[in-house]
Amino acid sequence: MKQIFAALHYCHSLHVIHRDLKPENILFTNDNTVLMLKIIDFGRSKILKPREFVNDLAGTVLVSVNL
């Protein structure tokens, strides 16, 4: 969790919002010494100008499946 929050803090410090953060968009890499987190799929991301707000909806739509 600490790595996820650090990565999001870094993105937000650059005024980038991901807009589709979910477990499928978080990967882990292992170089045999350190397990590192990577956030992927910035396709719906947005770079905000100072004092700009986002009012539209974004992200993955949850689809219910009846089995």
Q: Which residues contact 6 (CB under 8 A, 6 or more apart)?
A: none
Q: What is the pLDDT of residues 20-30, one digit of tens each?
A: 999 999 999 98
Q: Which of 20, 31, 41, 56 is catalytic?
A: 20
- Which pLDDT value is given to residue 63? 67
- Least Cα distance to 22 among 3, 46, 40 occurs for 40
HSE on the CB side for 47, CA within 13 Å?
1
Q: What is the pLDDT of residues 38-63, one digit of tens each?
A: 999 999 899 999 888 888 777 777 66
Q: How far is CA 38 from the centre of its chain?
A: 9
CATH homologous superfamily for 1-67?
Transferase(Phosphotransferase) domain 1 (1.10.510.10)
Q: Is 20 a catalytic residue?
A: yes
β partners of residue 30? 35
